[in-house]
Amino acid sequence: MSESPALNVPPDAGAVPVMSSPAEHGTTTERTPGVLQLILLLAGSCLSVLGAVLIAPVLPQMTRAFTGTPGADVLVPIVLTAPALLIGLTAPFAGIVVDKIDRKRLLILAMLAYAVFGTAPLYLTSLGTILASRVLVGLCEGAIMTCCTTLIGDYWSGPRRARYLGLQTLVATLSATVFLGLGGALGASGWRTPFWLYAVAAPLAIPMTLKLWQPSRRGEPASARHLPKLPWRQLAAPCLVTLFGGIVFYALIVELSFVLTGVGVTSTGTIGLISAVMSLGTAAGAIAFGRLSAKTPRTLLPFEFGLSAVGLLVVFATTAPAIITAGAVLTGFGTGMLLPTLVTWAVSRLSFDQRGRGTGLWTGALFIGEFAAPLALAGIGSGTGGLQDALAVLGLASAVVGALIALALRRGNQPLDGRDDAPRTAAAR
C-alpha cells in the first residue's frame, strides 16, 4: 500500500515493502516508501551541511566580538569545525543505537535536540559555552546522518538505492552553496542571526514523525533483537578508503579560497563564484554516479581518485585563476562521484540488522577525514613549501590510492546496484 495515496506515487521498482513497527500501529503492516519519504530523508541529510558551512561567513565578526577572550583566534574557527569532529567520533555509536533500538525515534529526538543546541548561540554570552553547544550540535548531526542514510538503505534496494544515495550527495552539495549564501546575507545584520536557521529542524521533525516509520521484523521487537556481528573484513576496506576520501573531498572546499588569494584574487565575490562553480562540478559528479551504479568499485574508484588527482595537480601547476577553476571543477566532479560510490560499497551488502552500525562507521570515517583535511594539508605544506605544493602531494597520493584499489579489488566483480542484497525484512524475503 502506498504511504501517501494523495500524492498518487506509484510503488518504486526498487522500493521494498517495509514492516512498520507494531508498537506504533498495533499490528505489523507493510508500507511502501515513496517520494515524500525520500524528500524528508534528503532534507534531514542536509542539516549536517548547514552545520558545516552556515556560519563560515560570520567567523571574522565572531572573532572581533570575542577579542577579549584568550585564544579567540583559535577557538572561533573550531566553532565551525567542531561538529564535523563530533560526527566522526559519535556516528559509529549512533549506528549501534539505530540497529539495537530504533531508527525513527533516534532521528526525531536528534532533530529536536539539533534545533535547541543549534540556536543556543542566539542567547549564550561566552565563547566557551557557544563551543560547547557546537559540540552537542555535532552529536545530533552524527545521529541524524546515520539515521537518514540507514533508512534510505532500508526503504529502497538495488539501482534505486544507489541512485538515491547519489542524490543525497547531490542535494547536500547544492545545499552547501545555498547555506553559504544565506549565512552571508543573514550575517549582515549580526553574527548571531544565521543561528536562527538551525530552528528549521523542529518543524521538519513533524512530517518525519507522521510519514516515516521504523522498519522491523515481523513479531520481533527491536529491543529483544540479538544483533549479528558486523562483517569487519567487508567493512574495513570501504571505511579506510573513505577516511582518505574525506580528505580529498574536503581539501579544496576548505583551501580553494586561500589558493585564489595566493595568486592575487582578492574579490570575495569572485572567490565565492569560483567556489560555487566547483560545487556545481561536485553536483554533476553525483548525477553521473546515478548512471554508473552498475559498475564495480574496482572500475569506479580508480577513475574517481584519478580524476580528483588530475584536478589537484592542475590547481598546483598554475597561477591563472581560470585554470585553477578548471582544476577545481575536475576535482569536484571526481569527489561528487566518489562519495556515493563509497557509501554504496560499504552498505549495499549489509543485512537489516547490520546496516545502522555499518552506516555509522562509514559516516564516522568520512567526517574524521574531512576534519583532518586542513590539518593534513597544513602539515604537508610546512614541509613542502606551501599550500599548492601540499595539494600536489595530495593529488599524487590520490592517484596512488586509485591504482592500489584497482590492484587490490581484483575479485571486486560485485556491482554497486545491490543485486546481492541481504533480506531486510520478513516480508522482503
| Contacting residues for 386 by C-beta, under 8 A, at least 6 apart | 262
d(CA 87, CA 363): 8
Tell whether 377 and 280 lie within a shared domain: yes
Residue 418, in any domain of the structure: no
Residues 203 and 321 in one domain: no
Residue at which a domain ends, from 198, 219, 240: 219
Instruction: Please indicate whether residue 151 or residue 163 has the higher confidence score (pLDDT).
Output: 151
In this prediction, residue 268 carries a pLDDT of 63
Which residue(s) pair with 15 in the sheet? Answer: 156
Which cell is 290 given? 546515478
What DSSP line would sit under 321-385, residue for residue?
HHHHHHHHHHHHHHHHHHHHHHHHHHHTT--HHHHHHHHHHHHHHHHHHHHHHHHHHHHHHHHHT
Select, from the ranges 87-101, 124-138, 291-305, the one with the highest average predicted confidence (pLDDT).
124-138
Residue 224 lies in a domain: no
Q: Are 312 and 395 in contact (CB under 8 A)?
A: yes
Q: Are 302 and 240 within one domain?
A: yes
Q: Does residue 422 carry a pLDDT above 60?
A: no
What average pLDDT does the structure give for the chain?
82
Q: What is the pLDDT of residue 139?
A: 92
In a domain, 72, yes or no: yes
User: Domain of 3: which CATH number?
Assistant: 1.20.1250.20
Question: Phi first, then psi: what are they for 225, rounded to 5°?
Answer: -75, 135
- CA 121/CA 211 separation, integer angstroms: 31
- pLDDT tens for residues 217-227? 544 554 445 67
User: Grid coordinates in use for 246?
Assistant: 574525506
In the predicted structure, residue 324 carries a pLDDT above the cut 60: yes
Give the integer Cα–Cα distance in Å for 294 and 53. 33
- Please indicate, yes or no, whether residues 215 and 242 belong to a single structural domain of this protein: no
- Could you tell me the CA-to-CA distances from 149 to 103, 140, 195, 324 in Å, in that order? 10, 14, 25, 33
Q: Kindly state whether residues 177 and 308 are assigned to the same domain.
A: no
Q: Which domain holds residue 363?
A: 230-413
- Last residue of a domain, which of 219, 241, 273? 219
pLDDT of residue 415: 58
Q: What pLDDT, in 10s, does the model give residues 343-373?
A: 888 887 788 888 888 888 998 899 899 888 8
Task: Give residue-wise pLDDT tens across range 202-211.
Answer: 999 999 999 9
pLDDT in tens, 392-415: 999 999 999 999 998 887 655 555
